Amino acid sequence: MAFIWARNSGKHLIWQISYRYRRPSGHIALTNKSLKTSSRRVAEEKLKEYQVREQQLLHDEKPKLLADKIDDVKASLDAMRTADTSSTPLKEFWNRYERHLLTKSPYRPEQARRRKSYKSEISRIKAFRSFLERRHPDVNQLEQITAAIINAFLEFKRINDKVAPKTANHYRVAIGTMLNVARERYGYICSTKGLRNPVDSIKPYKGMIKPIFFLTLPQIKQQLQALSCENITELYREKKIDRKYRFGPRLQIAVAICIYAGLRREELLWLTPDDVQLGNLQSILAGQPDCGTIIIRSKNIDGRFWQPKTGSGRSIPISLRLFAYLSKYQPPASSRWYLPGPNGHSRWDCDNWSRALREINIASDLVEMVSDSDAGGRKQHARAWSALDYRHTFGSHLAQKGESLYKISTLMGNSPEICRRHYAALVPQSLRSAVEFDQEPETTESAANGIVRLSDYLAS
């Protein structure tokens, strides 16, 4: 089989090709040839030509005359005109790609992916496939899929099916992923010059930016009381929750850490007892409020490596309010985790933790009415408070307190730009004095007559 490889010529790489050819004696031999290019894309295009020649060479018993070759070309053209569209290379690729989505790894096809992870991808690709069959029946090769066709499909979904911009972007990503897999595993080359994937030339849709939600001080108190052992026992007696959600104060402690320290969900559930360093109670009572520190850092536990989302660690001081909760909690001695799962030993799975929190909050009527973006904000539905709301609560209350966005970003492990986008609107008091520039410094007595002077200024 023909293949390409790169040779170092001193200054740059030159692509070579190794292929088989027929000698005048009729024997097949292997030879090398320089493609005289340093571009991998050009080399892959030429490799396809040589692979076609090799396939014809292996099927031929002897060198054909020119007339025979002309007859073969005519026969192949007639076969292409009369070919059945059900056996086109494009439809063969649909089946291959669907099998690819159903497996975790191409080297282990017996390991099936979970239904949740591939169901939406297959449905989006099937929608694109049906669009091609209805609107572009002449497209029977993967290389014929252009950016214009993909853009027409996305506009069709936006106008006819009235999908939200975020959903349209999901379709765009699904098609782009499909073509990337085709390029890496099946030799697909984009027909648009200068692009590896036609989706790269299509800009994502800009959707509606959802406002952040954070808990007020009474809501914080209400949330923590709902997660107390007494309230959970009462919910169980009223048959509003299952018995499996009765696992002690761990959920209340976890939510308190999210609210008063601003941790992400994974950072919370990867905490170990060494990461939570509490201060001395006697020194706190003596007037030295050093309540301790929560350390977020990379770790390797039981052969599994984990690191924070940004890749860098940070330390969050423990507040007095959070210290009141942590000082009453003792992690299980038999577990390596600060907040182990319901069995008390293994790490708490993120999805299971969120499911338990959601069920208890719904049973306690701790929900928020949010607008449905897919319906243009016209409909509303109930949503239980989540870990992201607790994280926004930490940042929002610090911003309202007057802390700088740089300090907030340092404590939360975000960039200052993200914190500015989320919390800048919550600090109007710090910006109010910045807009007053056309006035002299005044005393308290003259400031009381500010309204009179302002009316005189406007009258003039």
Of 333, 351, 382, at which residue does a domain stop? 382
3-class DSSP assignment, residue 403: coil
Q: Which residues of 165-190 are buried (b: 16+ CB within 10 A; e: fewer)?
A: bebbbebbebbbbbbebbbeeeebeb
Do 148 and 35 have their domain in common?
A: no
Environment class of 314 (CB within 10 Å of its CB; exposed 0-12, middle 13-18, buried 19+): middle
- Within-domain flag for 45: yes
pLDDT given at position 269: 94
pLDDT at 20: 72
Q: CB-based contacts of 164: which residues, under 8 Å, 6+ apart?
A: 207, 208, 373, 374
* 244 and 374 fall within a common domain: yes
Question: Which of 336, 360, 382 is at the close of a domain?
Answer: 382
Q: Is residue 404 part of a domain?
A: no
E strands, 65-184, are 103-105, 108-112
Classify residue 424: in a domain, yes or no: no
Same-domain pairing of 256 and 323: yes
276 and 294 Cβ atoms separated by less than 8 Å: yes
Same domain, 54 and 94: no
**45 and 124 part of one domain:** no
Model confidence pLDDT, tens digit, residues 87-104: 347 878 888 888 777 765
The pLDDT confidence band at residue 258, using thresholds 50, 70 and 90, is very high
CA distances (Å), origin 168, targets 198, 389, 444 = 16, 26, 58
Q: Is residue 196 part of a domain?
A: yes
Q: What is the mean pLDDT of residues 387-406?
A: 90
Pair (234, 339) in one structural domain: yes
Name the pLDDT band for 454 (thresholds 50, 70, 90): very low
| Least confident among 101-105, 206-210, 318-322, 326-330 | 101-105
| 411 compared with 424, residue with greater pLDDT | 411
Q: What is the pLDDT of residue 75?
A: 62
Q: Note whether residue 131 is domain-resident.
A: yes
Distance CA 133, CA 405 (A): 52
How far from 375 is each of 163, 173, 207, 269, 385, CA to CA, in Å? 9, 22, 12, 35, 22
Q: Are residues 305 and 277 in the same domain?
A: yes
Both 347 and 265 in a single domain? yes
Residue 423 included in any domain? no
**What was the pLDDT predicted at 216?**
92
pLDDT tens by residue, 170-207: 999 999 999 988 888 777 888 777 788 999 999 998 87
User: Is the pLDDT score of 343 beyond 60?
Assistant: yes
Question: 33 lies in which domain range?
Answer: 3-65
Contacts of 77-86 with CB under 8 Å at 24 or more apart are 85/137, 85/140
What is residue 453's predicted lDDT score, i.e. its pLDDT?
A: 47
Cα–Cα distance between 46 and 17 in angstroms, integer? 9
Report the distance separating Cα 24 and Cα 63, nearest Å. Answer: 9
Residue 187 lies in a domain: yes
CATH number of the domain that 114 lies in? 1.10.150
Residue 304 has pLDDT above 70, yes or no: yes
**Euclidean distance between CA atoms 322 and 357, whole angstroms:** 19
CATH number of the structural domain spanning residue 289: 1.10.443
Number of domains in the chain: 3
How many other CB atoms sit within 10 Å of the CB of residue 316?
22
- Alpha carbons 390 and 397: distance in angstroms, whole number: 11
* Residue where a domain terminates, one of 201, 230, 259: 201
- Evaluate if residue 86 carries a pLDDT over 50: no
Kindly state whether residues 31 and 150 are assigned to the same domain. Answer: no
Q: Are residues 245 and 333 in the same domain?
A: yes
pLDDT score, position 415:
87
Residue spans of beta strands (DSSP E) within 194-280: 276-278
Does residue 274 fall inside a structural domain? yes
Which residues, listed in sequence order, are joined to residue 7 by a DSSP beta bridge? Answer: 14
What contacts 168, CB < 8 A, 6 or more positions away?
154, 157, 158, 205
pLDDT of residue 105 exceeding 70, the answer is: no
Q: Is residue 166 located within the same domain as residue 261? A: no
DSSP 37: -
Task: Find out whether 192 and 201 touch, Cβ atoms under 8 Å.
Answer: yes
Same domain, 189 and 255: no
